[in-house]
Structure 1
Amino acid sequence: MGDRSRVGEARRAAAELAGRHGFDAIQSGRLAVAVNELGNNLVGHARGGRLLVGACQLGDAIAIELISIDDGPGMADLQACLRDGYSTGGSAGQGLGAVSRLADDFDVYTRPGQGTLILARFYREHDANGAPRRAGAGFDVGAVCVAAPGETVSGDGWNVAMHDNRADVVVADGLGHGPDAAEAAAVALAVFAQARGSHPGRYLELAHGALRTTRGAAVTAARADAGAQRIRYAGAGNVMARVMSGIDDRTLLVQNGTAGLQMRAVQEQEVEWPPHALLIVHSDGIQSRWRLDDPAVLQRDPSLVAAFVFWKFCRGRDDATVVVVRRAQR
């Protein structure tokens, strides 16, 4: 985001999303203020800044997320930046404090000299007391899905279905990128919706059959069971999954092949899911052997965790998707 005209572009994208998903005029106005503040902050202070704008539906909960990403200089005094009247240069003078008040969910990760991530989430539905209607079933979910440079659609797709104290997760990476890859990912997600409740191995078999009419996709599916503290999973290709906490880091190995093209008999596997561990699933737009130099980031909102992995480990030449699932901390 190198000039202020891009702020207007981001504001129009947010307004289009808000209209498409039924946000009212007041909600759309709050969203616009947040886009202005975050966007102008990036223009005025950031290096290599990006503002991600996206909508997400999990169950009955619909939200629009803004994620600001920049490479520096970071905020040495976060609390000062959040105080009323602390202006982000060139903005309306409301500052990050206004964004934190307007958003239903707000989170910041910053390191002086290295950069800052900011999340502002706006839900469409609220109860009589003004509390946002979040997805239930005891899980918090966050994701980032960004198209390859030069593309207008992502060839990756993801979804999470929550039921009976379980979260079923899928990430599909259509071969290549662009519209044909996006079509393959869409087919994989359609099968996921139709096969609701199926074990990961069975889902992968169904996806393999449906994807034969497409260019094919790398697909990984997992069932995170909070009650049993286990994760069952199956996958074909280079969509990676990891179980991570401050003391644990386990990669979930999947088989070679491409769903829809060539795939051996499905091998479903199972691992432990420690109480404080996150399940992180990502496409190969993210480096395969990344390591966190600050495990404290795992305590942030799952969308910020996903944004951190994208920020630090994106290859920069392909579609990139990161999905994070955590047991709810509310």
Structure 2
Amino acid sequence: MDLTFAGAPTLVLPLEDTSQIGHARRVALKEAARAGFDETDAARVALIATELATNVLKHARTGEIHIALVPGVATGGVEVIAVDRGPGFNLSDCLPDGYSTGGTRGEGLGAVKRVADVLDMYADHRGSVVMARMYPKGFSGADLHFGASHHALHSEAVSGDGWAMSLGDEVVAAMMVDGLGHGPQAHDAAKAGTDAWLADALADPLDGIGNMDASMRGTRGGAVAIARYDRTSDTLRYAGIGNIAGSLQTVDGSRGLASHPGIVGVQARRSRPFEFSPVHGRLLILHSDGLQSRWNLLDYPGLVTRHPAVVTALLHRDFSRGRDDATVLAIRLETSA
């Protein structure tokens, strides 16, 4: 498996009354068509969007539907996430053994459970996050264990953040860039950096930052972090400049990943790389400074074991500053593809 791609901003559909359920269904159909789904598979996506939107309004009264196209093994998929701040529900009645693909046992969310290829959720007194992913029929093993929640500042048409990944049998690499400020100029800086990284995605993180620095000159610059995971040696190599936050999460706690001060493309001095091993099974999280830094997954018992897409949606819900672009990326580090 060799797959390299850049992420796009998440579509966010507010839910405040029943008239918005139909809009969520139509947007889901449109995104399924963009993913190349046939009529039957697109109808599955529309059904899930309808059911999740209905469930939010019924149990939480208000919330959001997040929709994104996601890459998968040999195909692409559509992700639909319902996010709310309602009273939550009893997880033990739904998915007792963590996230599941197909055939999940449990009660509730029946229609979603029957048609989703991947379904996972998290709920407590602070609200609920329910994530479903769909792939074309015949690709039941397509899901990749990552999640991303990428949001432009509400007043901007484009995002000044960017992220990208490269997934292979031996190496997994990820990059995040935060263009200085927000708006079109920040977007241009982030795009220049992202394009440079994509051109040599498996390079050593120090070389990757050097390539991005050269391409971002003439822009307003930004913060950058690059992580490269060698599956064979079970070693993560990480380098960053600026205020992208990185961490490795386990059920017992977290370890921060250090970055150096500077602005890539403007005032970037050579960064020092850091190596971590073993890291198999840990959750790598990167986020821009549009997300508050004072969060702790231990405050959400069991969350670190859920699908990374549930983790990223919840962190955005509870810790977005609301005054800048905000992006959070999570990847489960695994020694086999």
TM-score past 0.5 threshold: yes
What do residues 243-275 of structure 1 show as CA deviations (whole Å, max 9, x unaligned)?
110123111110111111111123222223433
User: Hey, what's the Cα distance between the residues in 2 that align with 1:161 and 1:77?
Assistant: 33
**TM-score, structure 2 length as denominator?**
0.85
Q: Quick check: 1:315 aligned with 2:313?
A: no
Instruction: Note closer, same or farther for the CA distance 1:213–1:10 as it changes in structure 2 (3 Å cut).
Output: farther
Instruction: Note closer, same or farther for the CA distance 1:281–1:77 as it changes in structure 2 (3 Å cut).
Output: closer
What do residues 2-23 of structure 1 show as CA deviations (whole Å, max 9, x unaligned)?
1223323322322222222211
Q: Quick check: 1:17 aligned with 2:31?
A: yes
Q: What is the Cα deviation at residue 321 of structure 1?
A: 1.1
Equivalent residue, structure 1, for 2:45:
31
Equivalent residue, structure 2, for 1:193:
198
User: Hey, what's the Cα distance between the residues in 2 that align with 1:319 and 1:20?
Assistant: 25
Q: What is the Cα deviation at residue 117 of structure 1?
A: 0.8
Equivalent residue, structure 1, for 2:142:
133
CA contact (8 A) 1:58 1:160 kept: no
What do residues 230-250 of structure 1 show as CA deviations (whole Å, max 9, x unaligned)?
211111111110011012311
Q: What is the Cα deviation at residue 196 of structure 1?
A: 2.6
User: Hey, what's the Cα distance between the residues in 1 that align with 2:25 and 2:156?
Assistant: 20
Q: What is the Cα deviation at residue 78 of structure 1?
A: 5.9
Q: What is the Cα deviation at residue 77 of structure 1?
A: 6.8
Instruction: Note closer, same or farther for the CA distance 1:163–1:80 as it changes in structure 2 (3 Å cut).
Output: closer
Equivalent residue, structure 1, for 2:93:
79
RMSD: 2.3
Within 5 Å, give how 1:168-317 maps onto structure 2: 168-292=173-297, 293-317=299-323
Identity among equivalent positions (%) equals: 36
CA contact (8 A) 1:245 1:295 kept: no
Match of 1:64 among 61, 78, 82: 78
Instruction: Note closer, same or farther for the CA distance 1:171–1:48 as it changes in structure 2 (3 Å cut).
Output: farther
Equivalent residue, structure 2, for 1:108:
121
User: What secondary structure is seen at the aligned counterpart in 1 of 2:302?
Assistant: helix
User: Hey, what's the Cα distance between the residues in 1 that align with 2:263 and 2:72?
Assistant: 27
What residue identity is the alignment partner of 2:333?
Answer: R
CA contact (8 A) 1:81 1:96 kept: no
CA contact (8 A) 2:49 2:80 kept: yes
Equivalent residue, structure 1, for 2:11:
none
Q: Quick check: 1:46 aligned with 2:60?
A: yes
User: Hey, what's the Cα distance between the residues in 1 that align with 2:181 and 2:62?
Assistant: 26
CA contact (8 A) 1:47 1:71 kept: no
What do residues 74-116 of structure 1 show as CA deviations (whole Å, max 9, x unaligned)?
114763799xxxxxxxxxxxx72111111110011112x3211
User: Hey, what's the Cα distance between the residues in 2 that align with 1:134 and 1:290?
Assistant: 27
User: Hey, what's the Cα distance between the residues in 2 that align with 1:291 and 1:162?
Assistant: 27
Equivalent residue, structure 2, for 1:85:
none
What do residues 281-325 of structure 1 show as CA deviations (whole Å, max 9, x unaligned)?
111111122112124101101111111221222112221111111
Instruction: Note closer, same or farther for the CA distance 1:285–1:312 as it changes in structure 2 (3 Å cut).
Output: same
User: What secondary structure is seen at the aligned counterpart in 1 of 2:255?
Assistant: strand
User: Hey, what's the Cα distance between the residues in 2 that align with 1:60 and 1:256?
Assistant: 39
Equivalent residue, structure 2, for 1:152:
157
Residue range with higher mean Cα deviation, 288-297 or 29-38: 288-297
Instruction: Note closer, same or farther for the CA distance 1:59–1:157 as it changes in structure 2 (3 Å cut).
Output: farther
CA contact (8 A) 2:262 2:269 kept: yes
Instruction: Note closer, same or farther for the CA distance 1:226–1:81 as it changes in structure 2 (3 Å cut).
Output: closer
User: Hey, what's the Cα distance between the residues in 2 that align with 1:273 and 1:193?
Assistant: 27
User: What secondary structure is seen at the aligned counterpart in 2 of 1:7?
Assistant: helix
User: What secondary structure is seen at the aligned counterpart in 2 of 1:263?
Assistant: coil
Residue range with higher mean Cα deviation, 270-279 or 248-257: 270-279
Equivalent residue, structure 1, for 2:168:
163
Q: What is the aligned length?
A: 310
User: What secondary structure is seen at the aligned counterpart in 2 of 1:161?
Assistant: strand
What do residues 165-184 of structure 1 show as CA deviations (whole Å, max 9, x unaligned)?
22101011112223332222
CA contact (8 A) 2:73 2:141 kept: no
User: Hey, what's the Cα distance between the residues in 2 that align with 1:154 and 1:117?
Assistant: 24
Residue range with higher mean Cα deviation, 21-30 or 7-16: 7-16
User: What secondary structure is seen at the aligned counterpart in 2 of 1:303?
Assistant: helix
